[in-house]
Structures are given as C-alpha cells and as structure tokens.
C-alpha cells in the first residue's frame, strides 16, 4: 500500500489525512506554487440509498459469503 494511503492503516485517521493535505498546501504556498483544493460533500448522496438493499447486497456478495463459510468451518 502506498505511504499516501491512510485508509485501513493503524494509527491513521481522517485528522491525519487532513493534516497531510494542509501541510502539503502550506509547503507549496511557501515555495510560491499555486495550489487548488476541491472539497466535495457526499453526505447527501447517502440519503438517496435504499439502505436495506445496500446491506443485502453487501452481505450476499461472493466475498462475504466466502468469508462467512470460512469462519463457520
């Protein structure tokens, strides 16, 4: 996994990712570089999801079925 990926790593969090982005932007500004940051709010997208259908899809995916079969054996 790349050192830039903070998802699913021990001792990493959203705060660590935000701090890294802020630090990178600050360093670029100090060097006189132009930077842009685009933040997208995706919470509204989750309001349109049929949650019971999503959960059914997740728990009946081939990966989850295989994992549950391994755990029961």
Q: Residues 6, 12: contact at Cβ < 8 Å? A: yes
Look at the pTM and tell me if it is higher than 0.85. no
Cβ burial 1-37 (10 Å sphere, 16+ → b, else e) = eeeeebeeeeeeeeeeeeeeeeeeeeeeeeeeeeeee
Q: What is the pLDDT of residue 26?
A: 94
Confidence of residue 71 (pLDDT cuts 50, 70, 90): low
pLDDT in tens, 7-47: 667 777 777 788 888 999 999 999 999 999 888 777 776 67
In the chain, what are the domain boundaries? Answer: 14-72
Tokens describing residue 9: 């790593």
3-class SS of residue 1: coil
Q: How many of the other CB atoms lie within 10 Å of CB of 48?
A: 6
Residue-level pLDDT at 6: 61
Higher pLDDT, 52 or 7: 52
């Amino acid at each position: 996994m790349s050192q830039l990926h903070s998802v699913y790593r021990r001792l990493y969090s959203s705060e660590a990712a935000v701090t890294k982005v802020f630090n990178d932007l600050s360093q670029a500004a100090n060097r006189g570089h132009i930077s842009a940051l685009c933040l997208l709010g995706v919470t509204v997208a989750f309001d349109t999801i049929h949650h019971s259908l999503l959960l059914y899809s997740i728990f009946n995916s081939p990966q989850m079925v295989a994992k549950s079969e391994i755990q029961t054996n």
